[in-house]
Amino acid sequence: MRLVRTLLAVLICATALISCTQVRPWERGYLARDEMAWQADSLEGALNDHIFF
């Protein structure tokens, strides 16, 4: 059981380290577009947060 926990911890740490990446300068413009935002309309997002909390 201890071996399984250790392997799981190593796997999680390795996945976390691999998933971190640098955003290249030419990709920043694409990622800054309104379509890429979590909530494209901040007023609608605030209203939904107020209603559904």
pLDDT digits (tens, 9 = 90+) for 1-53: 899 999 999 999 998 888 777 888 888 887 788 777 777 788 888 888 889 87
Backbone angles phi, psi at 19, to 5 degrees: -75, -15
Please count the structural domains in the chain.
1
Angstrom distance (rounded) from CA 8 to CA 44: 40
pLDDT of residue 16: 85
Q: What is the pLDDT of residue 13?
A: 92
The pLDDT value recorded for residue 23 is: 80
Interatomic CA distance for residues 16 and 53, integer angstroms: 29
Whole-number pLDDT of residue 5: 94
* Tokens read off for 15: 């996945």
The answer to whether the pTM exceeds 0.75 is no
Domain containing 9 equals 2-52
